[in-house]
Structure 1
Amino acid sequence: MAEHEAAYCPVYAALNLLQEKWTLHIIRALLEGPKGFNELSRAIGGVNPATLSQRLEHLVSLGLVEKRVESHMPPRTRYSLTEAGRELEAVIAAIDRWARKNLKAPVA
């Protein structure tokens, strides 16, 4: 086995991916169903278009998100989760359970 293969840790790689800002927000929004770019941006809130585009490209390249071009004029693209992306629902559900149990809502 090559040295780089021996050093590979799937947990480390997954944590690096999931800790990227907006990645879990994108996954969570797409769990509700396919969305166009602007619809996805509104669902997430606060992400700038360049960052969203870069994150989506990365998630598509990893096989977690599928990009489907619906029209070229005007440009319309839909994003949806692949099976691998949908499997992250369990991760988000676990975070939700932990947060509801251990984090208090901010006081207004």
Structure 2
Amino acid sequence: MKPNNNSVVCPAELAIQILSGKWKLYILKNLMDGKKRFSELQRAIPGITQRMLSKQLRELEACGLIRRTVYPVVPPMVEYELTEIGKSLEDVFNAIHKWGLKYVEAMSIKTLECQEENSS
């Protein structure tokens, strides 16, 4: 998914390609508040299978958005966290949250409480 350095790409199309999929944005949002273990991510994302979570994590790591750290303990402990470029998506999530609020209001939709984003 990550283009080579000689590729000519449209930045918007590349971003959509990297972030597309049912689960990637959920994974990234859950990593916004810090490192998580695999089991923590799986519990935080209802409906995602272990196989799909593994696949999506590998893809996000290959794109450079997350970092996987394996600790040399028995049993092995693995943590996932955002890289600097992954952390830069926080503004995108804040914009999505603001848009969601406007949409909910415009469509008179009842919502569940969700974590407030840092909006200015």
TM-score by length of 1: 0.86
**Which structure has more helix as a fraction of its residues?**
1
Listed as ranges, the gaps of 5+ residues in structure 1 are none
Q: Deviations over 1:14-70 (max 9, x none)?
A: 112222111010010000110000011111221101111011011111111000002
Whether the aligned pair in 1 keeps the contact of 2:18 and 2:63 (CA below 8 Å) is no
**Which structure has more strand as a fraction of its residues?**
1
Distance 2:83 2:98 in 1: 24
1:29 aligns with 2:30: yes
> How do 1:51-90 residues align onto structure 2 when only pairs under 5 Å count?
51-90=52-91
Structure 1 position 71, deviation (Å): 3.5
Distance 1:24 1:13 in 2: 15
Whether the aligned pair in 1 keeps the contact of 2:71 and 2:77 (CA below 8 Å) is yes
**What percent of counterpart residues are identical?**
38
1:41 aligns with 2:42: yes
Q: Secondary structure at the match of 2:80?
A: strand
Deviating more after overlay: 72-81 vs 52-61: 72-81
Distance 2:19 2:86 in 1: 12
Q: Secondary structure at the match of 1:67?
A: strand
TM-score by length of 2: 0.78
